[in-house]
Each structure stands twice: as C-alpha cells, then as structure tokens.
Amino acid sequence: DTGVSQNPRHKITKRGQNVTFRCDPISEHNRLYWYRQTLGQGPEFLTYFQNEAQLEKSRLLSDRFSAERPKGSFSTLEIQRTEQGDSAMYLCASSLGVGGGEAFFGQGTRLTVV
Amino acid sequence: KQEVTQIPAALSVPEGENLVLNCSFTDSAIYNLQWFRQDPGKGLTSLLLIQSSQREQTSGRLNASLDKSSGRSTLYIAASQPGDSATYLCAARGSGGYQKVTFGTGTKLQVIP
C-alpha cells in the first residue's frame, strides 16, 4: 500500500455544478477524516468516519456537502450546487486504532469553482 | 475549544542555520501532537508524532518537543538545507470524544542557499 490516495488531484467546475471526490485510505486504517484548506490557512476539520459510521460533522459541512464511506473502505465527498467559496484544497487522512495513531494524509484534491 | 497557534508565520534563514519553530495550544488535554510538512499545492507529510506521555521525538535532523503543562511544542531543525523550504504545520489531537485534530496556520520556512 502506497498511502492515502485522492482523486481527482484537480477539479475545475462551474458554479452550481455538483462534484464528487474520492479518498482511498491505507487499507488497514479504520479512521478516515476529511479536511478543507484554504490559501494561507491550516486544514479545517469537516467530518470523521470510524469504519463505515460517520461519527462527527463540522458546522462547516453545510447541507450541500455529504460524505459516505460504504463498507468502511474508500470514502466520497460530494458538494452539490457548488459556490465560489467552496474553492479550496480538500484533504483526506486516515489513521489506525482507537486513538493516538499517526494520521497520514493524501495529496489532496484542489477544487476551483468558476 | 482548542486553538493552535504557530509563531512565526514566516521565517527566512541562510543554509546551515539551526532553527526552532513554535506551536502553542490552549487545551492541554491532548492525546498527541503531530508535526507535518506541506509543499506548495501538495498534501501533508507527517514528520514527527509525540504522544502525550512523551517529551520529545527525533528523526534525523528534526527534533520535536512537547510540554503539555505549558501548552507548547517546538520543532527544531538542525543544519537547515534549501530542501527544507516548505510550510510546517502542527496539529493537536484532543483526548475526548472522537479525538478531533486541530491544526495551526503553519510557519512558512525559506532556507536561502
């Protein structure tokens, strides 16, 4: 396993369109996180899965955002009716264990809404 | 609510210099603290992870320390190289609930040849 994989790496979309990103975590990792990072800022937490259960969602995750992790493997993050303010880097991370495990990040998906 | 601050926001040093990056956090109830490196337009690369019971971790030219009681962590880089130029982020993992990770805004380091 070569690490956390995110696809696509870049996405340009028109305002109002829907987009979906995919994250493939390290295979034995049961925890998966989504973060959003805007220019000059640190990553901000969006949502967290333990196996297939979505256990926490940030207030940043409006009704236009939805995330899934079917079967506790890969995860998808969908943004409906995109807005220019959604333009950011979307990062996925995974870790192992009940807690304290090192978090490994993917390369991110950079979204540009025009 | 955990808040993580990194000082300075940017740092420029000549090659070969030793340097220290600072990270402070407001809630000392953390599970661990992790330092990352981020190159422009890229994801995060994990550098060092310090569990709450540890005081420091070392990897090559990097040494990270943790003082939970004062809410501080430092990342020491010895003999800096131009390839060290990147943004360095610290992240504190809370010890309660689902152990939310809170990031600082990073220190942008430039090492001048």
Q: Convert the pLDDT of each residue in A15-63 to its tens digit.
A: 999 999 999 999 889 999 999 999 888 999 999 999 999 988 888 888 9
For residue B39, what is the nearest residue in chain A, using CA coordinates?
A107
Chain A positions touching B103 (Cβ under 8 A) are 35, 42-44
Q: What CA–CA distance (Å, rounded) separates A71 from A63?
A: 23
Q: What is the CA radius of gyration of chain B?
A: 14
Chain A positions touching B8 (Cβ under 8 A) are none
Q: What is the pLDDT of residues B42-89, one digit of tens each?
A: 888 999 999 999 999 999 999 999 999 999 999 999 999 999 999 999
Q: What is the pLDDT of residue A102?
A: 81
Q: Evaluate if residue A99 carries a pLDDT over 70.
A: no
Kindly give, in sequence order, each residue whose CB lies less than 8 Å from that of residue A73, ignoring residues fewer than 6 positions away: A24, A25
Kindly give, in sequence order, each residue whose CB lies less than 8 Å from that of residue A59, ignoring residues fewer than 6 positions away: none
Q: What is the pLDDT of residue A40?
A: 85
Mutate to test the interface with B, among A6, A29, A45 (most CBs of B within 10 A): A45
Confirm or reject contact between B93 and chain A (CB < 8 A): yes
Q: Do residue B46 and residue A100 have CB atoms under 8 angstroms apart?
A: no
Q: What CA–CA distance (Å, rounded) separates B108 from B112?
A: 13
Q: Do residue A56 and residue B98 have CB atoms under 8 angstroms apart?
A: yes
Nearest CB to B32 within list A48, A100, A110: A100
Strand duo B101-103 + B4-7: pairing: unpaired
Strand partners for A21: A77
Q: What CA–CA distance (Å, rounded) separates A80 from A64?
A: 5
Q: What CA–CA distance (Å, rounded) separates A26 from B43?
A: 15
Opening angle at CA A60, ends A64 and B97, nearest 5: 120
For residue B93, what is the nearest residue in chain A, using CA coordinates?
A100
Measured distance between the N- and C-terminal CA atoms of chain B, rounded to whole angstroms? 41
Q: List, in sequence order, the alpha helices (H) in A1-114.
A: none
What are the backbone angles phi and psi of residue B18, rounded to the nearest 5°? -85, 145
Q: What is the pLDDT of residues B22-47, one digit of tens each?
A: 999 999 989 899 999 999 888 889 99
Average pLDDT over every residue of B12-27: 96
Q: Do residue A106 and residue B43 have CB atoms under 8 angstroms apart?
A: yes
Q: What is the pLDDT of residues A64-90, one digit of tens each?
A: 999 999 988 999 999 999 999 999 999
Q: Evaluate if residue A100 carries a pLDDT over 70.
A: no
